[in-house]
Amino acid sequence: MSKSDEFAASDVSRFLTTFILMFILWIMLTWNFDWQEILVGAVFSAIVSAVTYKRFTRVGLKSLHPKKTLYLLFVYLPFFIKEMIKANLDVAYRALHPKMPVKPGIVETKVGLKSDLGKMFVANSITMTPGTIAMDQRGDRIYVHWIYVRDPTVEGATKMIPWVFEKKLRKVFE
């Protein structure tokens, strides 16, 4: 048994985690609470979960700990929304400014989180924030296209891009 296998959850736990998250995503995307819509969402969530659960998670229901989930909803989500508003205003300023002050480039950043899910949250947070796109992730590095490169060094770019999200996500993923 490999080291990664000894920490892996059961297939049932992994399937249920995937199902719960897919079903929540369905509800969020449709925002329709008719019983037919909920039934269709449950069926499609079950089908998607049956096909993808082995690639979706290794830790299973343990990743849906209520304390971590509440932290994501009530601490990280408002923080992320604030960061997204700031980034939207910055991009709007750059688009509307007569001289359009942009200095685009690709920077290498470093993420300190060890879990793949944590790295994914950081990369998705970067991508969903206007002005930055996480292009690739390899090991502890995330390559980001940045609309205005303020610091091209790994250390400088890390402090300005992923660290903003990572410091909040540490409480969930470590």
Judged against a pLDDT cut of 50, whether residue 167 lies above it is answered with: yes
What pLDDT, in 10s, does the model give residues 23-41?
A: 988 998 888 889 999 999 9
The rounded distance, in Å, linking the Cα atoms of 174 and 158 is: 19
> Using CA atoms, how far apart are residues 129 and 87, in angstroms rounded to an integer?
6
Contact criterion met (CB below 8 Å) for 149 and 156 = no
Output 102 or 17, whichever has higher pLDDT. 102
- Are 168 and 79 contacting, i.e. CB atoms less than 8 angstroms apart? yes
Two tokens at 162?
């992923």
Global model pTM greater than 0.75: no
Distance of CA 70 to the CA centre of its chain: 16
**What pLDDT does 110 receive?**
95
Using one digit for the tens of pLDDT, what is the confidence trace for 77-98? 999 999 999 999 999 999 998 8
The pLDDT of residue 59 is: 63
d(CA 119, CA 99) in angstroms, rounded, equals 36
Question: Quick one: average pLDDT of 44-59?
Answer: 82
Q: Determine the Cα–Cα distance for residues 72 and 95; give it in Å rounded to an integer.
A: 32
Query: What pLDDT is stored for residue 60 in this prediction?
Result: 59
